[in-house]
Amino acid sequence: SIDEGIALAKRALQDNNDRLHHRLCKVMTDGSIQGFTARLKWPGYHNGKPNGLWNLDPNTLGELVLGYHKAGLHL
């Protein structure tokens, strides 16, 4: 859930030290081009492969961004 992700990110920030510094949270909404799982606009993949998949429902993205920003986290 979004709240669980925020809690996990905040715990990671507490582990910062001289050699490791957590700063940003990365949100991956789709897959990779190499794996043919990225969401592409027309014309899509040159070989006719299906148009990838979402790792995060697009309708949830706004809620996630707002939640992380309200928690003081940077994406």
pLDDT tens digits along 22-65: 888 999 889 898 888 999 988 888 888 888 889 888 889 999 99
The strand pairing partners of 30, in sequence order, are: 54
What pLDDT score was predicted for residue 52?
Answer: 87
Q: What are φ and ψ of residue 34, in 5° steps?
A: -60, -35
DSSP letter, residue 71: T
Judge whether residue 10 has pLDDT over 90.
yes
The structure tokens listed for 43 are 């014309």
What pLDDT score was predicted for residue 75?
Answer: 93
For residue 24, CA distances in Å to 8, 40, 48, 73 come to 12, 25, 35, 7
Q: How far apart are CA 35 and CA 57, in angstroms?
A: 19
Q: How far apart are CA 28 and CA 55, in angstroms?
A: 7
